[in-house]
């Protein structure tokens, strides 16, 4: 398991009748440890688009209820409603987060499109858990237009709590609505005895567009029917399950203090042994095993758990499942780190500058933040970061507006009823207890990876050293040496770069003419075809009449799109002018100068000993100076030398990108060191080593491993390697600058978008944006994740 998400394991043992692990517990342990589950939340810069616009998005990848460290690469694809792929992107994940954009073609037809996001690890499991988000795209010149499908037929289904309906036991039922279009917002139902259809036994009103509930105490031999009706007089009649004369019914109630459950039964043989297992995100958190389990109440302290779905399963002595129930832990006490907005300077006048600060009250390196016109719709309105984390990431059925269950005034009773209608979809008890587990066909991608083969006159160059040379303009040429295996193959794993880079190559054997050498590179990753059908949308396409005019929203989109090219051009000019008057970040400049492309990683920490960190000059050994400055780094003494370890694993050490023994570090004077870089994950220069690396760079500029003659690469064969897709910058007008005076109308719906707003310790984080022409309020959305407390950071409010 990659990370623990439960504060501690809570096991309840009753009356000493606890036995050794059964099949269920053993199977769960294997599944939890070897098959962690990733899920993805996507947030977009707005809720709908027009052909020719950019779609910006931010991704959060979770492992259970924590940010994932399994995958470092995200695959994102755009499909039309016919499942034709329009575009695809490969993006880096840094601490489980990534961002990118799609540029929609100008001639894209109006319709519903789908953004698919997944990691290679997720491809080993049910495809239903991959993210597939519908996107509405308008195009007034398209022959067809979108209309909401609010007349589609709906169906109702009925679910008794825990799946059992037993004579004489008061049972809670949940009623679930489903439709290819939109389900009714106003609906109700009642129950009758089939023999007395005119007499209502009980009635209820639906909570929302998904679910309603009622309770009923059945009598054996009776047949019951449920009649459901909407406000348009559409009606359905559903038979309730047959009343059983024996069995076990699991009844659950959730509160801020505890999850309580009670097992009621009828006509059960005396001495029958039952056990109840409680799991959260595939981890065991509760167990009771006793022959006296029935007719007793049990309580699981909620404070010892986290927000999330708890699955309670009742097994008999043969480990058959007799009852199951999902519930949500502390639905009225959601552990959300809500940022505080301070120093608000907001002005509703057209095109004025607005600012506010975000108070840092959590362990978080960066926020995802965006500001919209208060009248605009956000993708968070339908499915929010909270609803993906706590609900839809693990529940694959269609839920209308799942975000509603985690808003400030949410209905916890509705959420509980919804979970009665669901089963845990991440695993099936019978399947894993039989020893059947997912087949792992895809391993997590270590950023960008390439594989290759070297041949000499058509024959594999076995166990041969090959030099890769990379030239940086005005910064010299870096040389790296890789070795082929017995069949002439080699690999480059953990490359982290955007767009493309060019390498020159040659064998490290002057006797072999370069004309006889052939090197073939190919990506060691691939996009995985979508097998499932696309889900139905809430829209229909109908023929557009000649007199049809675009809606006000679409008109505003058209104006914004037409302005954007001018805004981009002028903002670029301003940026270039500003850059000429500013110094580039000195540490970034030093890192770019000294680091080669194989020694770059998204998960690196740079210590600049030229411009900062002068305290290192007083240290005898650079490793001693690093200790305490790098989380998880410890030093062990071995024959007078220091061995650096990262969370118990020995780290590799490189000097000017040449691997050295730890004993050599003591001979390096800190006065000669220009920069130290700590890399905590896979990177290409480590050639697959994932133990962590300390890269030391001297003030000589990394002469070791460099090529003095810069003309050498031009004389060698070259290869171009493609990296991650580069994100198009989100650009807004900067009013107050004369370059933007010619914008006649400003109807932007998204006023500010920053998928990685960096925070500073003990300092507030500042946001500034310019108003459009008519916004009177602002929808502010701020997201992140506090890994220390396993809590989402979330703010979604409209302010004035």
Nearest to 212 by CA among 244, 180, 238: 238
Fold of 603-707: Ferric Hydroxamate Uptake Protein; Chain A, domain 1 (2.170.130)
What are the sequence ranges of the domains in the chain?
A: 448-528+713-722, 603-707
Name the pTM for this structure.
0.90
H-helix or E-strand containing 587?
helix 586-594
Contacts of 284 (CB under 8 A, 6+ apart): 9, 11, 25, 28, 29, 32, 277, 278
Q: Which DSSP letter does residue 368 get? A: E
Query: What per-residue confidence (pLDDT) applies to 666?
Result: 85
The sign of the torsion formed by the CA atoms of 155, 160, 165, 170 equals negative
CATH architecture of residue range(s) 448-528+713-722: Sandwich (2.60)
Run means of pLDDT, 10 residues per run, the chain, 800 residues: 42 46 94 96 97 97 95 97 97 94 97 98 96 97 94 95 97 96 96 95 98 97 97 96 96 95 92 91 90 85 91 95 97 94 94 92 84 97 97 95 96 98 96 96 90 92 89 69 92 89 84 85 93 93 93 95 84 51 67 87 88 76 88 84 87 89 88 90 69 87 45 68 93 85 91 92 88 96 90 95
Query: What per-residue confidence (pLDDT) applies to 647?
Result: 80
What phi, psi does 433 have (nearest 5°)?
Answer: -70, -25
Query: How, if at all, do strands 235-239 and 224-230 pair?
Result: antiparallel
| DSSP string computed for 300-367 | EEGGGS-SSEEEEEEE-TT--EEEEEEEESSTTS---B--EEEEEE---STT-EEEEEEE--SS-SEE
In DSSP terms, which residues pair with 327 in a beta bridge? Answer: 310
Q: 């009356």: which residue's tokens? A: 15
CA–CA dist 302, 317 (Å, integer): 28
Q: Which DSSP letter does residue 628 get? A: T
Query: How, if at all, do strands 247-254 and 258-266 pair?
Result: antiparallel
CA–CA dist 768, 749 (Å, integer): 16
Q: Considering only CA atoms, give the Rg of the chain.
A: 30
């Amino acid at each position: 398991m990659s990370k623990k998400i439960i504060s501690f394991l809570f096991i309840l043992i009753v009356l000493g009748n606890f036995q050794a692990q059964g099949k269920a517990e053993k199977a769960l342990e294997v599944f939890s440890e070897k098959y962690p589950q990733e899920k993805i939340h996507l947030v977009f810069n707005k809720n709908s688009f027009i052909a020719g616009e950019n779609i910006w998005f931010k991704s959060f990848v979770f492992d259970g209820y924590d940010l994932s460290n399994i995958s470092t690469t995200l695959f994102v694809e755009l499909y039309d409603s016919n499942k034709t792929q329009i575009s695809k992107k490969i993006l880096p994940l840094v601490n489980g987060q990534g961002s990118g954009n799609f540029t929609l073609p100008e001639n894209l037809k109006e319709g519903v499109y789908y953004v698919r996001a997944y990691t290679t690890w997720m491809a080993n499991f049910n495809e239903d858990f991959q993210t597939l988000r519908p996107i509405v795209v308008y195009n007034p010149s398209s022959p067809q237009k979108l209309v909401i499908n609010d007349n589609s037929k709906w169906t109702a289904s009925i679910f008794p709590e825990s799946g059992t309906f037993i004579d004489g036991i008061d049972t809670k039922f949940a009623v679930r609505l489903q439709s290819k279009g939109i389900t009714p917002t106003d609906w109700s139902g009642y129950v009758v005895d089939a023999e007395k259809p005119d007499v209502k036994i009980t009635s209820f009103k639906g909570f929302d567009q998904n679910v309603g509930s009622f309770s009923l105490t059945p009598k054996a031999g009776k047949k019951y029917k449920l009649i459901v009706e909407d406000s348009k007089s559409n009606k359905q009649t559903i038979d309730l399950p047959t009343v059983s004369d024996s069995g076990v019914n699991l009844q659950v109630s959730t509160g801020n203090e505890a999850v309580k459950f009670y097992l009621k039964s009828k006509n059960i043989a005396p001495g029958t042994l039952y056990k109840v297992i409680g799991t959260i995100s595939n981890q065991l958190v509760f167990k009771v095993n006793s022959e006296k389990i029935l007719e007793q109440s049990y309580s699981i302290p909620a404070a010892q758990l986290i927000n999330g779905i708890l699955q309670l399963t009742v097994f008999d002595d043969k480990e058959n499942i007799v009852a199951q129930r999902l519930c949500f832990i502390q639905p009225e006490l959601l552990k959300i780190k809500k940022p505080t907005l301070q120093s608000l300077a907001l002005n509703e006048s057209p095109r004025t500058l607005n600012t506010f600060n975000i108070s840092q009250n959590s362990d978080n390196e960066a926020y995802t933040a965006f500001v919209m016109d208060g009248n605009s719709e956000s993708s968070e309105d339908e499915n929010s970061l909270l609803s993906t984390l706590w609900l839809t990431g693990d529940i694959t059925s269609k839920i209308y507006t799942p975000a509603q269950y985690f808003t400030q005034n949410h209905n916890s009773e509705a959420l509980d009823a919804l979970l009665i209608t669901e089963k845990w979809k991440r695993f099936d008890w019978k399947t894993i207890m039989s020893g059947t587990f997912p087949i792992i066909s895809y391993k997590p991608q270590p950023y960008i990876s390439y594989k290759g083969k070297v041949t000499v006159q058509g024959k594999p160059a076995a166990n041969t050293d090959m030099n890769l040379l990379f030239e940086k303009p005005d910064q010299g040429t870096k040389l790296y040496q890789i070795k082929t295996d017995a069949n002439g193959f080699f690999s480059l794993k953990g490359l982290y770069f955007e767009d493309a880079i060019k390498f020159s190559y040659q064998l490290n054997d002057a006797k072999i003419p370069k004309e006889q050498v052939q090197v073939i590179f190919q990506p060691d990753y691939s996009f995985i075809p979508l097998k499932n059908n696309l889900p139905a949308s809430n829209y229909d396409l109908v023929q557009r009449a000649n007199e049809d005019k675009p809606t006000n929203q679409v008109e505003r989109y058209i104006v914004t799109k037409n302005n954007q090219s001018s805004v981009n051009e002028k903002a670029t000019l301003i940026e270039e002018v500003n850059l000429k008057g500013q110094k580039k970040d000195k540490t970034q400049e030093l890192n770019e100068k000294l680091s080669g492309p194989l020694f770059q990683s998204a998960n690196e920490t740079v210590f600049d000993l030229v411009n900062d960190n002068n305290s290192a000059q007083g240290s005898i050994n650079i490793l001693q100076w690093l200790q305490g400055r790098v989380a998880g780094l410890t030093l062990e003494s071995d024959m007078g030398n220091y061995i650096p370890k990262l969370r118990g694993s020995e780290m590799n050490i490189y000097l000017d990108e040449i691997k050295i023994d730890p004993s050599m570090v003591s001979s390096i004077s800190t006065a000669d060191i220009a920069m130290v870089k700590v890399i905590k994950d896979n990177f290409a220069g480590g050639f697959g080593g994932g133990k962590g690396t300390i890269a030391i760079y001297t003030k000589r500029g990394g002469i070791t491993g460099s090529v003095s003659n810069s003309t050498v690469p031009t004389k060698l064969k070259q290869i171009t390697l493609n990296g991650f897709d580069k994100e198009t910058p989100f650009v807004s007008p900067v009013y107050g600058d004369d370059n933007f005076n010619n914008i006649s109308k400003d109807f932007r719906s998204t006023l500010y978008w920053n998928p990685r707003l960096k925070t500073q310790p003990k300092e507030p984080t500042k946001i500034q944006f310019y108003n459009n022409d008519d916004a009177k309020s602002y929808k502010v959305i701020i997201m992140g994740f506090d890994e220390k407390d396993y809590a989402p950071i979330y703010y979604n409010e409209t302010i004035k």
